Amino acid sequence: MFNIVQARFLAPGIKRFVLEAPRIARKQKPGQFVILRIYEEGERIPVTIESSDPERGTVSIVVQSAGKTTHLLNSLETGDQVLDLVGPLGKPSEIANYGTVVVVGGGVGTAMAYPTAAALKRAGNRVLSIVGARNRELVILESEMRAVSDALMITTDDGSYADKGFVTDKLRQLIQNGTRIDLVVAVGPIVMMRAVAELTRKENIHTMVSLNPIMIDGTGMCGGCRVLIDGKSEFACVDGPEFDAHSVNFEVLVQRNAMYRDAEQRSLAEFQRVLSREESDQEVEHTCAVARREQP
Amino acid sequence: MSPTAKKSLNPLSPKERIKVPRQLMPEQAPEARARNFEEVNLGYDPELARQEALRCLECAKPTCTVSCPVGVKVKEFVELIVAGDFLGAAAKIREDNVLPAVTGRVCPQEDHCEGKCLLSKKVKPLGIGYLERFVADYEQRMGTHALPNVTPTGKRVAVVGSGPSGLTVAGDLIQKGHKVRVFEALHELGGVLVYGIPEFRLPKQIIREQLDYMREMGVEFETDVVVGRTVTIDELMAEEGYDAVYIGTGAGLPQFMGIPGEHFNGVYSANEFLTRINLMKAYKFPVYDEPMLDLRGKNVAVIGGGNTALDAIRSALRLGAAKAYVIYRRSDAEMPARAEEVHHARQEGIDFQMLTAPVEFLSDGKGWLTAARCVRMGLGEPDASGRRRPVPIQGSEFELPLSVAVIAIGTSANPIVQSTTPGLGTNQRGYIQAQDQTQRTTRKGVFAGGDIVTGSATVILAMGAGRRAAKSIHEYLTTGEW
């Protein structure tokens, strides 16, 4: 059992949890992730580590509601527990002084990009960060990213905050302005990472992306997280999750991530149906309670 | 009185013993069990067990014990069955084997004790596995495990991995008075016994009972720890105060064939397929959240001829597959799977496509598997493994329509522990180097055994390594000599 010592929404559907996990907190490095399971019948899902506090023995994770498990997770509060939390998994980001690094965070991927940006900054890099989100409300970790970046650019798809457009627009501008870029690190939705990869491939800029395939054990045992890298199968959990963006077959990643779409939708629909029934039960309960109080 | 001087309790003469037929194992009818996950073999009752035990010739030099990787004293425990002392028989096995209910079910006895049984020169060998299973189950039903009396040594041992070799090390060392803590990467204990071997061959309840017994003896367990990531071997020794570490991390990364189309949706590694079913209970979706592809009415094939392959395809059949194929590139004689499993699988209606290999997976154009293009093989000269090398037959290609293909052709070394433990020697294939008899690695105080040393093998061979390691760890802890 792992205790949730703090739970707070960063944006609609995106929640940050601080969990007691002393072993993980001691070892976590930027770029790594955890796998968690909420309860006995639950599935194992990989989750981003945003930061850790070795002194307090806590790790912070950031979760976006997508399927049943993440919806359920995001309904948990301070004082609740999750059954299993294992990590830190995957190879850490390779941190060195590259010169100028552009760190791109898309949506909830910003939470994974943040510790890498911070470490790159500490290593002496000039860090230019680009954070993208669908709209104003979904921009997360803005002040944190600003604190570890020499410059921070923000885009929203609908223009409701900062500049309207995509992260690739900003990256293209940087390139067109003649900014010397030694490395790009991009973490976010697959479409975003693929767009970044296509842009930097033409410019021959070394680019790393953090992949999020379907995963079970996270230790290399099951091979479910295999991704095609230069036409060869590699395992995201032991060989990654970060790979050279120009070697990744994104099409296969999209295809494999859709493998259980039907089951996932069924699970979520069932969960929401139960939830709404419970809510209406609570409403009935509430009405009854009010009625009882109002009786003379 | 020494055991050899003792008069036999067996009333039958050797000639009479040979005439007693091998007692058949009661089992679920093939047509019924092919659709459920309950155990195939139902187990002997006391009468069948005694009848079978009477067949033992009580050899002066028991080759069964010599050929057993953990050295179970077969003759002695069988004699106790003849005497009706089933609990005594269980205790006798436990002197050498901490998991008798497991090995009684999954050990390839034909390669060890039963294969060397003198009876097998004339008739069928003694049903040693069946007898072992009987006494282990009997003991469990009686609920009377004797707890060994031990004097604490004050030494602490960390065991990495809770599979068969790790549990053997833990069970042996706790009885020597050392403190033992087992670290497991997954959320459930048992390693391959829980994620790999299906319920119909090894009910999970049996593992839980064995683990409870180990807890009673004082073994501590910690799940959700990936040694090499969550904590390193060096940290266990330098910071957490362990005097010795045993690495039994088991089967590694699943191998793929490297043929076109292996990334299509519907192509699984056997480890993933079996983990979804056994560990994550995906077949109970949506009660359990982990999904798997619906196999009902589908054509499913497994590629490979080992126990893992048969476990996977027999599971697929139980999950409603319309056709369930084993595609194996060699012939029956070379199949590494346990003989009883092959027999059971045939009874259940598994279609064996022998001397056949897939050369490409085909899809619907949207990334979903639709078929395997296969080629028939002939057998050529023996290869490095001593088995005849399969050679493709020109022009024999054909397409087998499939929705799901499970690749069960073995594993390669998992690098996590090796890459985070400086000075830990590995061989060319990345497995940990360990001395044959002592299981010592190149690092002082660090021992290793099981699949992470040998590559994919069997439960009993992993337990044999655990046995040798426990002896060697005990020597190291008592003498301090390396």
Residue numbers of B between 415 and 444 with CB closer than 8 Å to A: 415-416
Q: Using the structure block, give the residue that is written with the tokens 């199968």.
A: A233
Give the distance from residue B274's alpha carbon to the nearest chain A alpha carbon, in angstroms. Answer: 9
Q: Are B62 and B75 in contact (CB under 8 A)?
A: yes
Helices first, then strands: H and E counts in chain B? 18, 16
Q: Flag if B281 and A41 touch (Cβ within 8 Å).
A: yes
CA dihedral A159, A160, A162, A166 (to 10 degrees): -40
Residues A110-140 have pLDDT tens digits of 999 999 999 999 999 999 999 999 999 999 9
Other Cβ atoms less than 10 A from the Cβ of A260: the count is 21
Size of interface A-B (CB pairs under 8 A): 123
Token representation of residue A77: 């509060």
Q: Are B410 and B255 in contact (CB under 8 A)?
A: yes
Q: How confident is the model at residue A286 (pLDDT cuts 50, 70, 90)?
A: low
- Please list the residues that pair with A283 across neighbouring strands: none
Whether residues B225 and A83 touch (CB distance < 8 A) is answered with: no
Pairing between strand B253-254 and B244-247? unpaired
- Amino acid B331 reads S
Region B446-469 average pLDDT: 94
pLDDT, average across residues B412-436: 95
Average pLDDT along chain B = 94
What is the tens place of the pLDDT at every residue in B171-224?
999 999 999 999 999 999 999 999 999 999 999 999 999 999 899 999 999 999
User: Quick one: closest CA in B to A43, which residue?
Assistant: B290
> Taking residues B316-332, what's their average pLDDT?
96
CA torsion angle B116 B382 B331 B122 (round to 10): -20
The two tokens of residue A216 are 């079970």
With tokens 């940990």, the residue in question is: B432
By three-state DSSP, how is residue A228 classified? strand
The answer to whether B259 faces chain A, any CB pair under 8 Å, is: no
Does the distance separating the beta carbons of B416 and A219 come in below 8 Å?
yes
Q: Looking at chain B, which residue has its C-alpha nearest residue A26?
A: B230
For an interface test with B, the pick among A219, A237, A270, A273 (most B C-beta atoms closer than 10 Å) comes out as A219
Q: In this complex, which of A223, A238, A266 lies closest to B272 when CB atoms are compared?
A: A223
CB A58 within 8 A of CB A21: yes
Nearest to B253 among A37, A235, A252 (CB): A235
Cα gap B342→B321, rounded to integer Å: 18
Of the partner residues B229, B291, B366, the one whose CB lies closest to the CB of residue A260: B291
Q: Which residue of B has its CA nearest to A90?
A: B229
Mention every residue, 6+ apart, whose C-beta is less than 8 A from residue A244.
A206, A207, A208, A229
Confidence of residue A293 (pLDDT cuts 50, 70, 90): low
Smallest Cα distance from B229 to chain A, Å:
6
What was the pLDDT predicted at B386? 83
Beta pairing partners, B361:
B372
Q: Which of B229, B262, B415 sits opposite A233 (nearest CB)?
A: B262
Q: Residue A289's pLDDT band (boundaries 50, 70, 90)?
A: low
CA distance A88 to chain B (A): 6
Q: Chain A contacts of B281, Cβ < 8 Å?
A: 41
Integer Rg of chain A from CA: 21
One-letter amino acid at A52 equals S
Query: Which pLDDT band holds residue B42 (cuts at 50, 70, 90)?
Result: very high
pLDDT tops 70 at residue A288: no
**In this structure, what token pair is assigned to residue B125?**
């060998």
DSSP annotation string for B363-376: E-SSSBEEEEEEEE
Examine the pLDDT at A192 and tell me if it is beyond 90.
yes
Closest CA to B147 of B200, B93, B94, B207: B94
Cβ of B263 and A24 within 8 Å?
no
pLDDT at A290: 57
Identify the burial level of A281 via C-beta atoms within 10 angstroms of its C-beta, where 0-12 means exposed, 13-18 middle and 19 or more buried.
Answer: exposed
- In sequence order, the 6+-apart residues with CB closer than 8 A to the CB of A296 are none
Quote ipTM for the complex: 0.91
Partners of A228 on chain B (C-beta within 8 Å) are: 263
SS (H, E, C) B310-321: HHHHHHHHHCCC
Which of B229, B286, B292 minimises the CB distance to A270?
A: B286
pLDDT, tens digit (0-9, with 9 covering 90-100), for B244-259: 999 999 978 999 999 9
Give chain B positions within 8 Å (CB) of A224: 268-269, 272
Q: Could you report the per-residue pLDDT of A50-68, keeping only the tens digit for each?
A: 999 999 999 999 999 999 9
The answer to whether the Cα torsion of B230, B234, B236, B238 is positive or negative is negative
Which of the two residues, B77 and B4, has the higher pLDDT score?
Answer: B77
> How sure is the predictor about B270, in pLDDT bands with cuts at 50, 70 and 90?
very high
Separation of alpha carbons B482 and B472, rounded Å: 10
Count of C-beta atoms within a 10 Å radius of residue A80? 14
- Tell me: pLDDT of B5 over 70: no
